[in-house]
Each structure stands twice: as structure tokens, then as C-alpha cells.
């Protein structure tokens, strides 16, 4: 029998529930505890039906039974994660934070995965960051002198849970900070828009950059290579068209179609975030299982 | 019906859409000074889409949020200075800066079904002592009952009042009457209306709102604003006075401000083929210039772009959709 590494999920909302499906599909991960705060939660019942150990005393389930997991995914909120982080550190859990708390090292797998595996707490930033930083990084490789980049993430209202909504300020600020920190662009701005259209829109991300050249052959080459790397763990990622230039401004529009693991395919925002988190956990697990 | 209406002057905020957010220091200073003389109670300034919205996506403003606030503040004594913010664009850091630069009023806006994203910002603003209003944008896209639910959330967060914004200029007076009535009956805070003039209904809609119980009207001098413009401040004040409703404003001064200051910055907004189509399509008025540019870029009729945007129920803030839809239309054409 192939050995798997046990993971725990704190937070049983949209993110946690989607994550669970992805973990159960992983060849190297399993779920040792799925823990929330609401005993009446539909998502906890759903997990029980899937044969997953569950609890509703949040992090206490892990404190009381530390052997339930080696890796912890925190899908609560930024504020709660700042309380969880020192506890999980003490318990020596490799922690993957899905809130915009900014406690751990900012992580985008296709950009800085290796360095993140040396940490005890990594932060998955935001869905907008996961979907755009790999592309901006490619742009910066081709055009070092780019001075300003902006991203606009449009997500369907149906896929934005109460956590996302009450953290929208942290979301916006952390996304722009992460773009600057990981791609070295001097100035970045992030905008997020919730779209209530019915049927729901797929998550869409637009990157704008002021560039100093009209020849974008090299930029395109780097971007296409980055898309290929990103698609390895986010198969639903796609550019909607080749990058275009309009008035000295580069425009790159992409879409993420979710796998439909928990919410339907429109929720690419959940997918890109969780696929990145699972990628980090799998690489960590592979190292552990060596 | 004898009552009082608070008329908020958003000329130096929403008006900036008409000149691609290029108000100069002189514009701001001269208009703010004149608004003070006209006994304006609240003057909102900044980028057309509010704090933190100056961007490639929406267009950069000539000056920063800080500069706009500072230059206006210098001229104001009794008139309260205000800012506008859409969560997702602006952040609490921007509110803190606005307060440092003299803002005493804040309008926090979201798409009409997304009031939950305004909680952090309304609560923060109220805690800091700002007179805080909630704004539900694109209000034609939701039924009255839904608007009431969303407005109640803003009321719970501590808003002093909630305004419905007809961001597409597509509402007719009956619809305004129905929606504002539901709000005034269901809320214990003030209600208000912000009209656009795409179908020539801005003043009529504002009056319908007041008759239905609204006590706040948001307007701009000369109707300055995106596309067909907003509710024309001096006109709505004149109509209210004629109806015997007090605004506390100096009507002659408002007329002078419109003619002596605003007319020199921009020609009066007009209803033309593009802004009229935009109103019919129910598309955010601020999309018109972007649709025009994208149509030129891809060799299309901008009206086709606008009608398609309306069909897809694109919301304010999704200016990137315009390029995408134009690209798709040009592909189907060729």
C-alpha cells in the first residue's frame, strides 16, 4: 500500500469543502480531520458521508489529537489565522494558510515553490494573486523595466463566501503587495469585482501593464511558457486571447474554469487557490515520504 | 408636502468622468469656493470611481486622492468635504488618508446585490465619526425587495442613509417610486437617489424619489458626469423650490457656478446615439467612452458593443469586459 501524508482542514466553508475533494483525489495526501465550528454545517455532514473524520471544535480538534495530521490547511479568516499560527507552529505542523493573513511566506507554486517548502507556514495569498502572479512574473522576465502593473479579478458573487466578503480589504491590499514582492515590479495595484450575473461568470483576470515596446514577441513567449507551467496544477487556466497592446498598455485577459469539485465550474477562484495549496502540500508530502 | 431635502453635490467626483478624471487644482479650488458660497452642505471630490480607483483599468486621475481632498478642503468652512469609495478598488488605508486630508463624509458603494462587501468600510468610517452613506449601484438590476434587504445590511453597519444609484440611467419614474417607497417604509435611516440622464429622466426620477419619501438627492452642476450626465443640480433644486421643498441652497449661486465655472471646463453633457443606447441597454454610463474606444480599435459600431454588454449583464467596474466583447464581436464579424 502506498503511504500517504495526513492533512487537516480547519474551516468548512467554500474553500475547505473544495479542498477536501482535491485532497481525497491526491495520490500522496489524505484527510485526517475536517474541522469547523458549526455542528449543523451541511459541509461537515457531507464530509462524514465521504468517510472523513470530522469535528466542530475548530483548531481544538488538532490540539487534542495532534496525530490527526502533519499538514494543516487553514481556511478560516485572516483574523482567526493570526491566532492559529503560533499554536500550529508549536505543534510543528506544516501550515498552508488560505486566508489573506500574511503570516507566512507568500507562495505561488510556479514561482517560488522550493523556497516555500523550507518554511513552517506558507500563505497562498489570494485567488487573484495565484491567477496573475505567474503571468506577471513572465512579463517581468521579458521586460525588466516595467514600472507598473495592475490586475482586475472578477469573480461570481455565488463563489464569494462570507469569509472573502468580510476580508475584501485584506484581499485587495495583500494581492498588490504580493505582486510587488514576488515579481519585483516597483508598483502594483489590485482590484476585485464581485459579479452577480446569473448564470454566474467564470473567474476572469485582466492584467494591465505599461510597457515600453511595441514588439511583444519575447513577452508572449515568456507568457506562453508560464501558462504551460501554471496549467500543470491549474488545468482550467486559459488565456482568452493573445496579449494585446492598446495605447502603450499591455492587456492580458485570462479565465479560470473550476473542476467543479465543490461549487460548479464558474468558481475558478476556489480552484486556482486550492490547486495551488494542494500542489504545495503534495510536494511537501513527497519530500516527507522519500 | 413641506419637507427638507439634503442635496449632495458630487460635481467634483462624478463630474470628473466627463473629462476622464482630469480636474485641475484650479478647477477644484474655484468650484469648491463657489459651492461654499451656494451654501452646499456636502461636496464630494475625487476620481469618478472614488478613492483608490485611479488606474489603467478606469483611467488615471490628473491629481491624487490626497491632492483633490486637500485643495477642496482649503476652500471649505461650513460645507462638509466628502469622498466616495467602492470596496475592491479603495481600501481602509485610503479612508484613513482621506480623513487626514479633511474628509468628514464618506459614501461607500457596491453593486446593488453586494452590500456585504461594504461592511468593513462603513463600520470603519462610522467609528471614525464620518457621516457615512451607503450606495447601491446599478439599482435597476435588482427588485425592490432585494434592494431593501441590501440596504438593511448597510443600515446595520451604521450608515446614516442609503442611496439608490441608477448607474445606467435606465430607470423610469414609476420604478423609482416603487423602489424608494419600499426602502423608506422598510428602513429607519434616510434614503436617497442618484440619477443618470441617459433617457432624459434624471430630474424627473429624482423628483419621483423625493415624492416617494427620499430625503437625499445626489446631483452635479450642469449635470456634469459620465455619458449623458447626471441629475442637473441647479435644475433639481429649482424644481424642489417650486414644489415648496427646502434645500437650504442658494439657487442663483448654483446657476452662476454652472455657467461661470463648469461650462468653462466642459460642454454640457448631451444625450447622443451612444449615451442613449447605453441607457436603453441598461449599461453603466461610465462604459460609453471605453466602448467607443474599443469599437474604434476593432472597427465596430459602439452601439453594438453596448447592446451586447447589456445582454451579458456586465456590472460597473468590469471595464475589461468591453475589450473582450469587442474582440469577440469583431471575430464573429470577420
- CA dihedral sign, ordered B243, B244, B250, B252: positive
Q: Is B17 a catalytic residue?
A: yes
Q: Cβ contact (<8 Å) for A196 and B324?
A: no
A24 and A154 co-located in one domain: no
Q: Cβ contact (<8 Å) for B327 and A241?
A: yes
Full domain range(s) for residue A84: 5-125+271-289
Best to test chain B binding among A165, A177, A190 (most B CBs inside 10 Å): A165
Best to test chain A binding among B54, B56, B60 (most A CBs inside 10 Å): B56
pLDDT: which is higher, B268 or A192: A192
Longest dimension (CA), chain A: 60
State the Cα–Cα distance between residues A21 and A15, nearest whole angstrom: 10
A132 and A261 co-located in one domain: yes
C-alpha cell at B167: 448607474
A136 and A47 co-located in one domain: no
A199 and A87 co-located in one domain: no
Mean pLDDT of chain A: 94
A60 and A137 co-located in one domain: no
State the Cα–Cα distance between residues A17 and A289, nearest whole angstrom: 26
CB within 8 Å of chain B, chain A residues 181-220: 189, 191-198, 204, 206, 208-210
Name the band, by pLDDT with cuts 50, 70 and 90, for residue B2: low
A46 and A163 co-located in one domain: no
Of B116, B312, B317, the CB nearest to A165: B116
pLDDT at A212: 83
For residue A223, the SS3 value is helix
Of B55, B91, B116, the CB nearest to A150: B55
pLDDT at A224 over 60: yes
User: How close, in Å, is residue A129 to chain B by CA atoms?
Assistant: 14
Please tell me the total count of domains within chain A. 2
Name the band, by pLDDT with cuts 50, 70 and 90, for residue A198: confident
A161 and A118 co-located in one domain: no
Radius of gyration, CA atoms only, chain A: 19
Which spans in B7-89 are helix H? 11-14, 25-37, 65-73
A188 and A251 co-located in one domain: yes
B230 secondary structure, DSSP code? B
The residues with which A148 forms a beta bridge, in sequence order, are: A187
State the Cα–Cα distance between residues A58 and A78, nearest whole angstrom: 15
Minimum CA–CA partner of A206 in chain B: B320
A113 and A162 co-located in one domain: no
Residue A77: CATH number of its domain: 3.40.50.720
Domain residue extents for chain B: 6-265, 273-333
For A178-189, what is each residue's pLDDT tens digit? 999 999 999 999
Cell 442635496, located at residue? B7
The architecture in CATH of the region B273-333 reads: Orthogonal Bundle (1.10)
State the Cα–Cα distance between residues A18 and A33, nearest whole angstrom: 15
C-alpha cell at B249: 441652497
Question: Mind giving me the DSSP string for A72-134?
Answer: EEE-S-HHHHHHHHHHHHHTT-EEEE-STT--SEE--HHHHHHHHTTSSEEE---HHHHHHHH
A217 and A111 co-located in one domain: no
Q: Does B47 touch chain A (CB under 8 A)?
A: no
CA angle B66, B72, B73 (to 5 degrees): 85
Out of A38-47, B74-83, B230-239, least confident range:
A38-47
Mean pLDDT of chain B: 95
Q: How is domain B6-265 classified at the CATH fold level?
A: TIM Barrel (3.20.20)
Average pLDDT estimate for B223-249:
96
State the Cα–Cα distance between residues B76 and B80, nearest whole angstrom: 7
pLDDT at B287 over 70: yes
Q: Does B313 touch chain A (CB under 8 A)?
A: yes
The residues with which A155 forms a beta bridge, in sequence order, are: A194
Amino acid at each position: 500500500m502506498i503511504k500517504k501524508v495526513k492533512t487537516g482542514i480547519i474551516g468548512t466553508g467554500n474553500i475547505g469543502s473544495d479542498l477536501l475533494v482535491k485532497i481525497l483525489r491526491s495520490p500522496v495526501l489524505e484527510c485526517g480531520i475536517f474541522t469547523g465550528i458549526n455542528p449543523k454545517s451541511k459541509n461537515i455532514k457531507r464530509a462524514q458521508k465521504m468517510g472523513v473524520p470530522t469535528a466542530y471544535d475548530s483548531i481544538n480538534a488538532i490540539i487534542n489529537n495532534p496525530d490527526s495530521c502533519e499538514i494543516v490547511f487553514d481556511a478560516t479568516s485572516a483574523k482567526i489565522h493570526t491566532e492559529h499560527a503560533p499554536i500550529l507552529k508549536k505543534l510543528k505542523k506544516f501550515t498552508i494558510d488560505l486566508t489573506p493573513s500574511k503570516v507566512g511566506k507568500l507562495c505561488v507554486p510556479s514561482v517560488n515553490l522550493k523556497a516555500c517548502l523550507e518554511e513552517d507556514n506558507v500563505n497562498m495569498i489570494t485567488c487573484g494573486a495565484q491567477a496573475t502572479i505567474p503571468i506577471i512574473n513572465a512579463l517581468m522576465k521579458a521586460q525588466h523595466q516595467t514600472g507598473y502593473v495592475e490586475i482586475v479579478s472578477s469573480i461570481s458573487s455565488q463563489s464569494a463566501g462570507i469569509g472573502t466578503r468580510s476580508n475584501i480589504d485584506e484581499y485587495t491590499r495583500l494581492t498588490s503587495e504580493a505582486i510587488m514582492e514576488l515579481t519585483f515590479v516597483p508598483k502594483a495595484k489590485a482590484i476585485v469585482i464581485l459579479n452577480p450575473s446569473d448564470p454566474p461568470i467564470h473567474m476572469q483576470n485582466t492584467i494591465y501593464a505599461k510597457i515600453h515596446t511595441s514588439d511583444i514577441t519575447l513577452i508572449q513567449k515568456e507568457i506562453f511558457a508560464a501558462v504551460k507551467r501554471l496549467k500543470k496544477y491549474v488545468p482550467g487556466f486559459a488565456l482568452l486571447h493573445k496579449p494585446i497592446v492598446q495605447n502603450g498598455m499591455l492587456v492580458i485577459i485570462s479565465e479560470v474554469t473550476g473542476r467543479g469539485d465543490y461549487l460548479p465550474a464558474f468558481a475558478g477562484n476556489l480552484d486556482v487557490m486550492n490547486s495551488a495549496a494542494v500542489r504545495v502540500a503534495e510536494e511537501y508530502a513527497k519530500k516527507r515520504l522519500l | 408636502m413641506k419637507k427638507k431635502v439634503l442635496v449632495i453635490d458630487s460635481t467634483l467626483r462624478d463630474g470628473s468622468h466627463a473629462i476622464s478624471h482630469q480636474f485641475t487644482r484650479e478647477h477644484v479650488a474655484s468650484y469648491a469656493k463657489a459651492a461654499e458660497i451656494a451654501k452646499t452642505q456636502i461636496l464630494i471630490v475625487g476620481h469618478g470611481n472614488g478613492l483608490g480607483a485611479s488606474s489603467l483599468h478606469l483611467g488615471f486621475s490628473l491629481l491624487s486622492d490626497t491632492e483633490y481632498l486637500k485643495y477642496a478642503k482649503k476652500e471649505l468652512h461650513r460645507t462638509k468635504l466628502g469622498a466616495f469609495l467602492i470596496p475592491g478598488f479603495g481600501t481602509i488605508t485610503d479612508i484613513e488618508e482621506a480623513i487626514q486630508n479633511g474628509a468628514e463624509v464618506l459614501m461607500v458603494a457596491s453593486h446593488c446585490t453586494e452590500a456585504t462587501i461594504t461592511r468593513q468600510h462603513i463600520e470603519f468610517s462610522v467609528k471614525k465619526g464620518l457621516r457615512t452613506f451607503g450606495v447601491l449601484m446599478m439599482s435597476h438590476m435588482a427588485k425592490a425587495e432585494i434592494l431593501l434587504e441590501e440596504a438593511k445590511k448597510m443600515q446595520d453597519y451604521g450608515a446614516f442613509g442609503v442611496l439608490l444609484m441608477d448607474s445606467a440611467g435606465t430607470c423610469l419614474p414609476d420604478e423609482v417610486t416603487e423602489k424608494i417607497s419600499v426602502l423608506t417604509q422598510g428602513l429607519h435611516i434616510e434614503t436617497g437617489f442618484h440619477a443618470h440622464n441617459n433617457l432624459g429622466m434624471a430630474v424627473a426620477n429624482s423628483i419621483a424619489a423625493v415624492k416617494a419619501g427620499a430625503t437625499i438627492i445626489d446631483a452635479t452642476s450642469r449635470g456634469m458626469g459620465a455619458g449623458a450626465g447626471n441629475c442637473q443640480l441647479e435644475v433639481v433644486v429649482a424644481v424642489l423650490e417650486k414644489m415648496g421643498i427646502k434645500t437650504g441652497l442658494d439657487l442663483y449661486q448654483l446657476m452662476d457656478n454652472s455657467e461661470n465655472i463648469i461650462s468653462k471646463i466642459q460642454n454640457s453633457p448631451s444625450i447622443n446615439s451612444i449615451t442613449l443606447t447605453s441607457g436603453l441597454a441598461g449599461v453603466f454610463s461610465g462604459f460609453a467612452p471605453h466602448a467607443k474606444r474599443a469599437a474604434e480599435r476593432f472597427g465596430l459600431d459602439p452601439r453594438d458593443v453596448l447592446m451586447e454588454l447589456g445582454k451579458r449583464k456586465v456590472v460597473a467596474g468590469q471595464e475589461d469586459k468591453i475589450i473582450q466583447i469587442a474582440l469577440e464581436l469583431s471575430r464573429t464579424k470577420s
